[in-house]
């Protein structure tokens, strides 16, 4: 098989192989028993209705979405045997970004020292990671990128109403990451399925903080900055789209459902996963489930589960794996992945690993030096546009620096 390229030329197809994977969750664990002391619920009720026993939540201002994302991204790069400088693109899927802007992905790019990488955030709720995987795969297969870092990261505890027993028992914090790299072997992400139904946008929503309801004393006092969810309708939606998306992406990949070695679903609710398995006429042992320990981590749930499944030996070379999820939007997404052989390492010698780790250490120093230089330059040269000798000198230096960079 060849792919046409340009005027009559052809090249072998490029594939997007998952070469690195990792996860990161906060140290603090919040158990059902602890929640039962705060709201009117019990451990038995939570487990029987959701399957969740505990979840990890951030503690303090130093644990943020960007911090968790950077840690997961760093470990995924080490697993892939890559240096941050080899990355071409970073995509962070999140519903809880560090800021409205700049993007969390840009903060991760700076933290890792990925000086050559573009970076942007993507918002598709709990489906976000597979949306990011689709974008990253397209960049690799088109030749736009060689190595892409894809991260799902959330700090949902920051937007959870801890007095609402219907939602506070569900969510947790964490991050998961994969590296997707170009490969000549037919493996990696072979097909994806994306979908959206905006008519259900109000069923799972963070009402305030955007342009429709800007933050105000009223939105804060009314609880508009907390997750609002119609659980019954979301459950009905999920149990319909999850099996359908899994069937569609399997068909796109040219597989039969029975050939799939493992399904890695969005970890929202055990009953949703059991319903999907039943509709697909498949046993539950083909579905990887870890929500009992993490809860619903939204865009982070699938990459966290995938990293755990691979580490636990549930995924091997040649295995056919389906990732499938649903989320706010309403959205749904699925990906068919054929697990490939590990690529030739570039940093897996002891010296290579040392250089990679030193690169992460020096990334923080590099960022500090750039910010310090910018501050010092602005202090010495004064504001832009001043019609004096410093202003004219600054204009010349700025032009010279621009030409030097380009």
Residues labelled as active-site residues? 126, 266, 296
Element (H, E) at 191: strand 188-196
Where does 6-87 show beta strands of DSSP type E? 9-11, 15-24, 29-31, 54-56
Contact yes or no for 132/93 (Cβ under 8 A): yes
- Residue 379: how many CB atoms within 10 A of its CB? 8
Q: Which of 16, 399, 347 is nearest to 189 (CA)?
A: 16
Contact yes or no for 262/309 (Cβ under 8 A): yes
Read out DSSP for 227-255?
-EE-HHHHHHHHHHHHHHHHHHHHHHTT-
Q: Which of 15, 17, 14, 13 is nearest to 339 (CA)?
A: 17
Dist CA 396 CA 366 (whole Å): 26
Dist CA 354 CA 338 (whole Å): 31
Contact yes or no for 335/133 (Cβ under 8 A): yes
Element (H, E) at 190: strand 188-196
The 3-class SS string of 287-327 reads ECCCHHHHCECHHHHHHHHHHHHHHCCCCCCCCEEEEEEEE
Dist CA 234 CA 225 (whole Å): 20
């Amino acid at each position: 098989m060849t792919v046409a390229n340009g005027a009559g030329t052809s090249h072998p197809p490029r594939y997007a192989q998952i070469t690195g994977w990792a996860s990161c969750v906060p140290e603090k664990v919040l158990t059902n028993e602890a929640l039962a002391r705060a709201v009117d619920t019990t451990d038995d009720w939570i487990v029987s209705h959701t399957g969740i026993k505990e979840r990890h939540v951030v503690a303090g201002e130093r644990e943020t979405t960007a911090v968790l994302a950077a840690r997961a991204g760093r470990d995924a790069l080490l697993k892939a045997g890559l240096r941050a400088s080899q990355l071409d693109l970073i995509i962070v899927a999140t519903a809880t970004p560090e800021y409205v802007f700049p993007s969390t992905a840009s903060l991760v790019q700076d933290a890792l020292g990925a000086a050559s990488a573009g970076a942007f955030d993507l918002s598709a709720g709990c489906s976000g990671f597979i949306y990011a995987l689709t974008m990253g795969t397209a960049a690799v297969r088109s030749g736009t990128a060689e190595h892409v870092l894809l991260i799902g990261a959330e700090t949902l505890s920051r937007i959870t109403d801890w007095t609402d027993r219907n939602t506070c028992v569900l969510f947790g914090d964490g991050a998961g990451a994969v590296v997707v790299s170009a490969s000549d072997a037919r493996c990696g992400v072979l097909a994806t399925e994306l979908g959206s139904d905006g008519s259900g946008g109000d069923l799972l929503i963070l009402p305030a903080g955007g342009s429709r309801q800007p933050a105000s004393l009223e939105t804060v006092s009314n609880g508009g900055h907390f997750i609002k969810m119609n659980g019954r309708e979301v459950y009905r939606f999920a149990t319909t789209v999850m099996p359908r998306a899994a069937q569609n992406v399997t068909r796109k990949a040219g597989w039969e459902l029975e050939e799939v070695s493992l399904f890695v679903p969005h970890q929202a609710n055990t009953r949703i996963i059991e319903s999907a398995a039943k509709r697909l006429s498949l046993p539950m042992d083909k579905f990887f489930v870890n929500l009992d320990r993490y809860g619903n981590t939204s865009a982070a749930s699938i990459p966290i589960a995938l990293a755990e499944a691979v580490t636990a030996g549930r995924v091997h070379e040649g295995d056919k794996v389906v990732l499938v999820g649903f989320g706010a939007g309403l959205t749904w997404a699925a990906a068919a992945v054929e697990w490939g052989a590990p690529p030739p390492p570039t940093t897996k010698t002891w010296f290579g690993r040392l250089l990679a780790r030193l690169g992460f250490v020096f990334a923080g120093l590099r960022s500090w030096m750039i910010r310090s230089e910018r501050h010092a330059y602005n202090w010495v040269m004064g504001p832009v546009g001043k019609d004096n000798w410093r202003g004219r000198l600054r204009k010349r230096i700025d032009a010279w620096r621009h030409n030097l960079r380009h």
